[in-house]
Amino acid sequence: MAAKVSVSPTSLLNQIVVPGDVVLDLSNMNNQTIKLGSGLLQDNDAISAMRAGKLSYSKPNKYWLESSHKRYIPRPDDHVLGIVVDSRADNFWVDIKGPQLALLPVLAFEGGTRRNIPKFEVGTLLYLRVVKTNIGMNPELSCTEASGKAALFGPLRDGFMFETSTGLSRMLLNSPTRPVIEALGKKLSFEIAVGLNGRVWVNATAPRIVIIVANAIMNSESLSGTQQRIMVEKLLAIISD
């Protein structure tokens, strides 16, 4: 009943592992430095999985677990969609679907000064960047890039926001573009903002386009690339009739 230790570091790559699985045996890897990402833990000479997910690897030496969950764990430089839940003198409290509410300082905007403090009502949807995620502290957000420019960040007006799993939102942001977005983009014009926290905002000229795009994205999570294209074709055929 003891844990089965993988002999080679490649045996479990791109395989689904669950908590307790030993994914790497360090005793077989001499003079190698490896970097462990989320979901993995070193226990003496063994690297074990701490949650269920796909073991991923990137050259030269990075290992991590790719997993999909409803809850979001904030990481620095993640782009997220947040909802303002409270407004204070020095900062806004923003819900980013994480363990705690996040802080958005009133000066964390392009050219932010005491004179031109933005006013956001409770419920405003914002596209934000995670700046700090220190243990034991609320995450800190910003509406600017590292350079101080606003770029894409800021309030998202109109449109429709829906929630997905963190895995799907990561897939939507991956390169190359996810087939469902590519197929929809060829036939329909719409705006989309995807947060790594599992929130997606869609805006278009007509409400039916928004509904089709939202439904297509939500249904695409468990479909392969070909299945996604077929689904989009069927949806577009329905609205063209």
Judged by CB under 8 A, which stretch of 98-106, 118-126, 140-148, 207-215 contacts another protein? 98-106
Q: Does 52 interact with another protein (rule: CB under 8 A)? A: yes
Q: Which of 35, 62, 70, 75 binds another protein (CB under 8 A)?
A: 70
Beta bridge partners of 130: 141
Phi-psi region of 148 (alpha: psi -120 to 50; beta: other; left: phi over 0): left
Q: Which is nearer to another protein, 13 or 107 (CB)?
A: 13
**Does 218 help bind another protein (rule: CB under 8 A)?**
no
Taking CA atoms, 217 is separated from 46, 56, 66, 83, 232, in Å, by: 39, 24, 20, 21, 10
User: Which residues, 151 to 210, sit near another protein by CB under 8 A?
Assistant: 165, 167-168
CA distance 178 to 71: 22
Applying CB under 8 A, does 50 fall inside the site for another protein? yes
For residue 143, with 0-12 CB atoms within 10 Å meaning exposed, 13-18 middle and 19 or more buried, which class applies?
buried
Site for another protein (CB under 8 A): which residue of 16, 34, 36, 150?
16
- Does position 85 interact with another protein (CB under 8 A)? The reply is no
Pairing of strands 35-36, 62-66: parallel
Residues contacting 227, CB < 8 A, separation 6+: none
Query: Residue from 9, 53, 74, 139 that binds another protein (CB under 8 A)?
Result: 53
Residue 219 as a binder of another protein (CB under 8 A): the answer is no
The binding site for another protein (CB under 8 A) comprises 1-3, 16, 18-22, 39, 41, 48, 50-54, 66-71, 99-101, 135-136, 165, 167-168, 221-224
